[in-house]
Chains A and B, each alone.
Chain A
Amino acid sequence: MAQQRALPQSKETLLQSYNKRLKDDIKSMMDNFTEIIKTAKIEDETQVSRATQGEQDNYEMDVRASNIVRAGESLMKLVSDLKQFLILNDFPSVNEAIDQRNQQLRALQEECDRKLTALRDEVSIDLYELEEEYYSSSSSLREANDLPLCEAYWRLDLDTDGADGLAAPLRASPEPSAGPLQPAAPAHSHASGSGPTEHA
């Protein structure tokens, strides 16, 4: 299970460099910290004067403390690089993330379509009543032999002659593309064309 696959040279080199950086930074931190603690010890016998020794120790501690901070920042950079590498190359988690996203989006799409279908069923009932009201009112623009859609539906149901029955509502309807199966389009065309105008 934990077999080493034949990675491309660049990826393998990259991962080895990550290991090396980790080891170097940890070693640097530990060594510098240990040396600071050792340098803090006050010795009675010194080769140079006490003031000089003090200055030297001060400078050494400054440098070692800076080394510890540099090692810490280098570790932070390493963690950032590892995060980036993980996001780009950890295929199991990327696959799972994509699957989850697809599931979410598909669920949202199905919800939208379900609600639209329910809306369509409700609106078709209301449109039917609106059309009845509109075509029976005096403000409609239709001609005498022009049938409202509800009449066209009834004619279609009652008519047993398929060809004539289909032809009558199609001839009567002003829109050539609109048929008994598309109630919304003629209602809109009538509504938008004749709404604000008054007729004698």
Chain B
Amino acid sequence: MATYSLANERLRALEDIEREIGAILQNAGTVILELSKEKTNERLLDRQAAAFTTSVQHVEAELSAQIRYLTQVATGQPHEGSSYSSRKDCQMALKRVDYARLKLSDVARTCEQMLEN
């Protein structure tokens, strides 16, 4: 999949969003844990709460952008393109190479037998 650059960029962006959602839940858990302590670290609380809010807004913006892009490019028709023909041609070329290798090994074996005899 490394060669599908354009598709990979969007898919990679979506994977980053998934990681960020995990980080959001982590932040929320840290804030609540900190609140449960008797002596809370206010700076940590503020930092984590701000990070939570920023991440949530960022995720919302990114996902909205992706949905907007899909609204623009989606046609509702199935994509009927395929790489089958070139894959078949390549497969035939590889079969030709295998056949040539087989025949060459036959000739080599015959030559060796002749030499032994």
B73→A90 contact, CB < 8 A: yes
Distance in angstroms from A88 CB to nearest chain B CB is 7
How many angstroms between the C-alpha atoms of A123 and B32 in the bound complex? Answer: 77
Q: Which residues of A sit under 8 angstroms from B97, Cβ to Cβ?
A: 112, 115-116
- The answer to whether B81 touches A98, judged by C-beta atoms less than 8 angstroms apart, is yes
Within 8 A of B (CB), among A61-79: 61, 65, 68-69, 72, 75-76, 78-79
B17: nearest residue on chain A (CB-CB)?
Answer: A79
Closest residue on chain B to residue A134 by CB atoms: B114
Size class of the contact patch on chain B: 35 or more
A91 within 8 A of partner (CB) = yes
CB-based contact B25/A116 at 8 Å: no
Contact partner, A109, options B10, B82, B89, Cβ 8 Å: B89
Interface of B is mostly: helix
Q: A7-B76, A198-B117 are in contact. Are A96 and B21 (CB under 8 A)?
A: no
Q: Determine if B87 is an interface residue (Cβ-Cβ < 8 Å).
A: yes
Q: Do B35 and A37 touch across chains, with their CB atoms under 8 A apart?
A: yes
Interface size class of A (residues with CB under 8 A): 35 or more
User: Secondary structure of the A side of the interface?
Assistant: helix
> Which residues from chain B contact A85 at a C-beta distance below 8 Å?
70, 74
Q: List 13 A-B contacts (CB under 8 A).
A: A2-B72, A4-B72, A15-B71, A29-B28, A37-B49, A82-B63, A85-B70, A86-B11, A90-B73, A91-B75, A94-B81, A195-B110, A196-B113
The 8 A-B residue pairs with the shortest CB-CB distance in the complex, in nearest-first order: A93-B7, A8-B76, A112-B93, A105-B86, A105-B90, A109-B93, A97-B4, A93-B6
Residues of chain A touching chain B, judged by Cβ–Cβ distance below 8 Å, are 2, 4-5, 7-8, 10-11, 15, 18-19, 22, 26, 29-30, 33, 36-37, 40, 61, 65, 68-69, 72, 75-76, 78-79, 82-83, 85-98, 100-102, 104-106, 108-109, 112-113, 115-116, 119, 123, 127, 130, 134, 139, 188, 191-192, 195-196, 198
